[in-house]
Amino acid sequence: MKYKSQKVAYWFFALSMLLLILQITYGFIMGFARIGFDNLHEFIPFNTARAVHINLLVVWLLSGFMGAAYYIIPEESQRELVSVKLAYVQLISLAVVGVVAVVGFHFNMWEGRKFLEIPRPLDYLVVVNVLLFLGIILLTLFKGKRKTTTALVLSMGLLFAALLYLPGMLPFDSQVTDSFFRWWVVHLWVEGVWELIMGGILSFLLIKLTGVDREVIEKWLYVIVGLTFLSGVLGTGHHYYYIGVNKIWLVVGGIFSALEPLAFLAMALFAVNMYRKGEKKHPNKLALYWTLGSAIVSFVGAGLLGFAHTLPQTNLYTHGTLVTAMHGHLAFWGAYAMIVLAIISYSLPNMTGRKLYETSRGRAAFWLSNIGMVGMTVAFGVAGVAQVYLERKMKMDFMAVQNEISIHFVVLVLCATMFTAGIVLYIVDFYKHGKPTDEALEVTN
């Protein structure tokens, strides 16, 4: 079944594509600065570029998640959204908050807390925006003809993501206490409730693309939810090792961080198993590539590379180095960026009626972006290991070490160029699909 209100999803996806390009642009500004081409420093200093790059990552992914919810929830609940007009109001207000925040960063209007830099007044606007979004989604689900596990897990992830934003708004005079609660937002988003959002979208896509029974696929969701909460909540402890809290977190963080890859392993096995069981030969192979790719790459980036440097004995040396950037880039790309690109690849032909999923452009976008990201991850990893040895073992000065490892940023920029070429091709494909039409959404009603 398709529903006309699903058109709203297209505009959230369009916003996410725009923000993605902006995020990449600021990434290049940082990359060129690291190899000596810092000509924009007067207008966009490194700290500003970094704040914009990181915060745009969060906003474009949230925009993608919201678009996914606006597409999936009507189909899963078998009814139109309760208010399309309010959904568009929410989209516009989200875009306005994002623009004001990014412009503000260029005028030093921020809180200086990584991932949560936006000024406090904008925090309240974010809360209002998300409450409006949740009201539309949850009311649609409540009034719907059915309530599936897929829809409930997706909605639960979105609801908990909203609730966990609130601890980041609490004011503290102590840097230690502030850091303690800031990680409730950052960690419990990306290694907790966002995994539920990913699991919900993954489940929806596998049901549509493989033809495997819903009951079989949704049983796996219970496993993923269980593993996420088992490891993710107390796994927050690996951010508490050296911030001034009790030493018990060295033990708790170490044990539960070792369990965190299990949720991503479950998702990878889940996706591959469903693909093998599936008898349905869905024509949209591109959406299937992105779906399976997300499950597999997230296990490597978020699971294995995360585990590689979150044990206390290792993290003592790698904390605050480029090893973290190595893990962060592949983790966010595999777990969240690829699943957003997967739902866009699946939904666009359905919303527009244009079946462009067999183009060489789409396949090139997939492979160029993934190969480029793997290259970036390797460059960060090599630079990070060299930084750890020179800075933490040889006790060299931080800036002296940055000069020594600058060659790795040349490789990074080259790989980022390949990655960007893939993303540009993906966005060209997005544009070529055109806008959604009522006729396309009426085809299977």
pLDDT at 79: 93
pLDDT at 282: 85
Quote the percentage of the chain above a pLDDT of 70.
Answer: 98
pLDDT in tens, 366-388: 999 999 999 999 999 999 999 99
d(CA 437, CA 445): 14
pLDDT at 365 over 70: yes
pLDDT at 357: 84
Closest CA to 199 of 284, 116, 302, 77: 302
pLDDT at 30: 95
C-alpha count within 13 angstroms, C-beta hemisphere, residue 434: 12
For helices 360-387 and 322-332, give the axis angle rounded to 10 degrees: 160
pLDDT at 392 over 70: yes
- CA 324 to the chain's CA centroid: 16
Using only the alpha carbons of the chain, give its radius of gyration: 21
State the average pLDDT over residues 94-115: 91
Tokens at residue 81, please? Answer: 């959204």
pLDDT at 296: 95
Length of the chain equals 445
pLDDT, mean over the chain: 92
Q: How confident is the model at residue 1 (pLDDT cuts 50, 70, 90)?
A: low
State the average pLDDT over residues 277-297: 90
Return the higher-pLDDT residue of 260 and 337. Answer: 337
pLDDT in tens, 215-253: 888 888 888 888 888 888 899 999 999 888 888 999 999
pLDDT at 371: 98
d(CA 221, CA 195): 11
Closest CA to 228 of 255, 254, 253, 193: 193
pLDDT at 114: 81
pLDDT at 121 over 60: yes
pLDDT at 404 over 60: yes
Closest CA to 429 of 339, 357, 334: 357
State the average pLDDT over residues 176-186: 91
CA separation (Å) from 13 to 152, 236, 325, 347?
Answer: 22, 30, 26, 10
pLDDT at 160 over 90: yes
pLDDT at 444 over 50: no
State the average pLDDT over residues 157-184: 91
Closest CA to 343 of 198, 144, 157, 133: 198
CA separation (Å) from 98 to 56, 104, 118, 125, 333?
Answer: 8, 10, 9, 11, 21
- Number of other residues whose CB lies within 10 A of the CB of residue 177: 14
End-to-end Cα spacing for the chain: 5
pLDDT at 321 over 90: yes
- Degrees to nearest 5, angle at CA 300 with 296 and 304: 140
CA separation (Å) from 111 to 6, 76, 254, 280, 307?
Answer: 36, 39, 30, 51, 30
